[in-house]
Structure 1
Amino acid sequence: MTAQPVDRVVIGEAVELEVRAARAGSRMTALLLDLMAMFIIAVALFALVTLVMSTLPFEFDDASLQGITVVGTVLLLVGYPVTCETLWRGRTLGKAALGLRVVRDDGGPVRLRHALTRSLVGVAAEWPGVLLPPVTWVAALTTMLGNPRGKRLGDLVAGTMVIHERTPATWGWVPGMPPQLAGWARTLDLTGVSDELALAVRHFLARGRELREPARTELGRELAAEIAAVTTPPAPPNVPGWAYLAAVIAERHRRARDRLGRARAVSNAIWPDLSPAQPETAPLVRPGVPYSDDTPPLAWPTTASRLS
């Protein structure tokens, strides 16, 4: 599974959250949906205004009609996003359909001033490009494509960003924790275990049965040596190789899941109506491990000499 790019924001409580910034593709799709919604609203307002004007005892000249049209267009382009983003916590109809949300750069919810600033800049510097494609449209699109967080001009001025609130599951198969190693695993220092090393061990445990001897044992020894070199304390004596590796990866996953749970608790406090794509209690760990207890143990990582 391809890892999704994430951005990190530090909120006021000094908690670092990982978010996925929305890029040009999803934002343009949301914009098209919002344009459709605004078109429907415009048609309904036009019908209402026409009905009201037909009941008045006097007629409007062409200049008055043009003025009403301009004012109505601006109010629609500004009022629709400002109203939605202020009352709906950073979402419009298009953003809600695609699972997007506008937040401040510190991860907090947007207020009226943020939504109004974004919309005014959009009308002044971006919407004219939609109507009459001048240089402003090119500048706005270039800004969105070139910014690391996919920000448009309005976001840069208002100090906001658009994020994906539906985070896809990033965990694949994870080995279960051998019960006899659970207590020891909680004492491990795993700061030196990189994502690449953990992924290699997880793949080895998941596909070890497909490997033939002596290749399986040799690969297991190499991975165990790499794990032993960056973790403490050493493994208990007489522990099967698969159990050691499984315990390390399962414990690393448990800690990452706990951090994610705490981050989601904070983010839910910031965005109360934000629901994760999957329940936090959803089982992410397949029970058991890919080898049985009678699998010959790999050479064990208490010291480098024992792995030679």
Structure 2
Amino acid sequence: MSELVTGEAVALELRPARLPSRALAVLLDLVAAVAVYVAVTIALVAATASLDEAAQTAISIALFVLVLVGGPILVETLSHGRSLGKMACGLRVVRDDGGPIRFRHALVRGLIAVIEILMTFGVVACIASLVSARGRRLGDVFAGTLVVRERVPAGQAGFVPPPPPWLSGRFSGLDLSAVPDGLWLAVRQYLTRMGQLDPQVAWSMAGRLAADLADRTGAPVPLGVPPAAYLAAVLQERQVREARRAFGHAQAGSGGPVAGAGGTAGSPGGYVPPVYPATAVVPDVRPVVHPVAGAGGEQASPPQDGPGGRPSTGFAPPA
């Protein structure tokens, strides 16, 4: 199990695929590729019997490159990281931040696989996976990808809650190109685990992540928007853009639910904030507005107790 450790020493786990399941997926992919290669070779030999030996050799080399190298690259690109073997084993190739891979990621993985899998019979890939903390082979390291388990028990699946309805579509104009993959991963993992954290720790982490995200986008956090709600809204906007790029159109509107790390969709009723324990008593009832370091703006303080001693969610829309 790989972990990302935050500044508050809170471990947020990932679900990388283990070496045996990855090896089985690669074996199934190779069997399918070799079967296609043999079938196409037989057909070409019959069709090019009248050509000279040099032409037949050139066609054989081109066929090898197209089927055994270009084939896996094409399949991973079109299936967004799910080859035949990975689908059978419940695996998927994703970017380091959990997003879908693109052609350049599949290209780097496919080219390096020629050396570490085909030419060395998988020895280099196995050694690299055993040495890596997250089980990555050299192709994953250079491509910035990770093979993760898609099929996990429902109770263990991460859940990224959707933002409040009053924030839907508010950040559609943000420039997200400067946000690194590591920050997106930290935001995604925080949102899936914030309900399990101490309220003060959760609020501090959300404020720091929101400040970092605002610095990267060049726009301050809107006044009165809680940091966790801001993170959820910006992450949802990014997922909508990824869906447009991957599928040609938005799979979810700016106000729809956001899928979590385990593929579970959020409740359409709005943001589901963490449940704060009844023992957490904060003396002041009113939210205090204070600046966030590095964000260039201001946002509300941690949620306070509401009337009657009931814990306040802190996600009420600004006046």
Using the size of structure 1 for normalisation, the TM-score is 0.49
Higher RCO (CA < 8 A, seq sep 6+): 1
Using the size of structure 2 for normalisation, the TM-score is 0.47
Bigger CA radius of gyration:
1
Q: Which has the higher helix share?
A: 1
